[in-house]
Amino acid sequence: MKKTYYLFNPGVLERKDNTLKFTPVTEDENGREQLGQPRYLPVESVSNLYVFGSLRTNSSLYNFLGQNDIAVHFFDYYENYTGSFMPKDFLLSGKMLVNQVRHYEDKQKRQRIAQLIIEGASYNMLKNLKYYNNRGKDMEPIIATIESLRELIYKSQTISELMGIEGNIRLHYYEAFNTIINDFDMSGRTKNPPLNEVNALISFGNMMCYSQCLRAIHQTQLNPTISYLHEPGARRFSLSLDISEIFKPLIVDRVIFRVLNKKELQATDFDLKLNKVLLKDAGKKTFVSAMEEKLTETIKHRTLNKSVSYKHLIKLECYKLQKHLLGIDDYKPFKMWW
C-alpha cells in the first residue's frame, strides 16, 4: 500500500536506481555543510511527499516522480502551502471538462452544487457540536443558531449570498471551540497570520486538507481549477477549496480537538512570534502524525458495505461530483452518520 512521506529537514532528494534517496543536510557551527544518514524510500511505496524544509533536487528526479505518479506538496517556513508538483494528467477527459464548465456557467446549476457543498459542510460541523454536547459541553445555543442558518442555504439566490450564510455558520461554529478545547483560547478566527495556537493549527490543518483534496481530484477526470462555491481564479486550484469544506470538520477539526485535549500538543510546542504563532518542529511532527493517522483511519461505508479510509472518502466525493456533472447521478455531499 502506498504511503505519504513527510520531509521536515532540509536535504537532498535524488534517484538511486528504483528508490528515492533523501539525505538530510545541516550546518556545523562554522557554516559548513554536513550530510546526515541517507534514507531510502522504495518508489512503489510512495504516493505523496510533503516538503516542509528546503529541498535540493533536479529535473530528472521530477521526471522520475512523474513517471511513478508521485505528487509533491510544498510548505514554507511559516507553514503556508506554496504549491504542488503533480504528475501528468493521465485521466483528462474532454467530455468531463465541457460538462464541468457548463455547470459553472449555468447560474442555477452552479448555485445548486454550491448549496450542496455548504449543506454537507455545515451538517458535519453540527455533528462535531452534537458529539461534544452529548459529553457535557453546552453546545445547544450554537447548535440552534447554526440550524436556523442552515434553513437559509436553499433560499440563497447568489453565490455571494450563500458565502455570507456560510461565513455566519462558521463564525458561530468557531465560537464553540473555546468550550470544546480545554486549555487554549481561540478568541475568534484569525489567519494570514494566525494569532494564537488554535488558529495556527486550523490554518495548517486546512492547508493539509486542501492538498489532500487536490491529490484526490487529480486522480479523477475533474479539473481542479473549475469550482462552484469558491470563485475560480488565476494560479489556484479552487475546486480543492470546495471539496475541502466538507472534510475540514471531520478531519482537521477533530484532530485539533484530540491533540489539544489529550495534551499531545502543549503550549511549549508553539513559537509565539510577533503577530504570528507557529508550530515548532517537534509540534509540527506531532500534528502531522495525528493528521496522517486520521486520514488512514477506516470506517465502514454504508453504501459500499466495506471499510474505507478518510483519504479514500475524499476521492469518493470527487467521483460523486463527477457523476453529477455527467448527469449519471445527483450529487449528495458526504455527511457523517456516526
Q: What is the tens place of the pLDDT at every residue in 173-215?
A: 999 999 999 999 988 888 878 989 999 999 999 999 999 999 9
Lowest mean pLDDT among 83-97, 131-145, 159-173, 314-328: 83-97
Mean per-residue pLDDT, 7-30: 91
The CA distance from 63 to 130, in Å, is: 48
The CA distance from 102 to 202, in Å, is: 34
Q: Indicate whether 234 pLDDT > 80.
A: no
Check if the beta carbon of residue 197 is closer than 8 Å to that of residue 182.
Answer: no
Cell triple for residue 102? 457548463
Q: Indicate whether 147 pLDDT > 90.
A: yes
Cell triple for residue 328? 449519471
CATH number of the structural domain 3-85: 3.100.10.20
Q: What is the pLDDT of residue 225?
A: 93
Cell triple for residue 87? 504528475
* 3 state DSSP class of 64: helix
* Residue 70 pLDDT grade (very low, low, confident, very high; cuts 50, 70, 90): very high
List where CATH 3.100.10.20 sits in the chain. 3-85
For the chain, where are the alpha helices, taking DSSP H only? Answer: 59-67, 94-105, 107-133, 140-150, 159-175, 177-180, 197-218, 238-247, 254-261, 281-296, 310-325
Cα 150 from chain centre: 23
**Alpha carbon separation from 334 to 25, 244, 290 (Å, rounded):** 43, 11, 22
Exposure b/e, 194-233, CB count within 10 A at least 16 = b: bbbbbbbbbbbbbbbbbbbbbbbbbbbbbbbbbbbbbebe
Check if the beta carbon of residue 71 is closer than 8 Å to that of residue 215.
Answer: yes
* 3 state DSSP class of 138: coil
pLDDT digits (tens, 9 = 90+) for 80-138: 899 999 887 666 678 999 999 999 999 999 999 999 999 999 999 999 999 999 999 99
List where CATH 1.20.120.920 sits in the chain. 94-325
Check if the beta carbon of residue 269 is closer than 8 Å to that of residue 283.
Answer: yes
Q: Indicate whether 240 pLDDT > 70.
A: yes
88 or 140, which is more confident?
A: 140
> Could you tell me what percent of the chain has a pLDDT over 90?
81
Q: Indicate whether 24 pLDDT > 70.
A: yes
The CA distance from 331 to 113, in Å, is: 8
Q: What is the pLDDT of residue 90?
A: 60
Average pLDDT, the chain: 93
Of 111, 284, 301, which is closest to residue 208 (Cα–Cα)? 284
Q: Indicate whether 65 pLDDT > 90.
A: yes
Residues near 303 by beta carbon (within 8 Å), at least 6 away in sequence? none
pLDDT digits (tens, 9 = 90+) for 269-316: 999 887 889 999 999 999 999 999 999 999 999 888 899 999 999 999
What does pTM read for this prediction? Answer: 0.91
Q: What is the pLDDT of residue 13?
A: 96
Mean per-residue pLDDT, 234-261: 94
Check if the beta carbon of residue 121 is closer than 8 Å to that of residue 166.
Answer: yes
The CA distance from 60 to 58, in Å, is: 6
* Residue 156 pLDDT grade (very low, low, confident, very high; cuts 50, 70, 90): very high
Q: Which CATH architecture has domain 94-325?
A: Up-down Bundle (1.20)
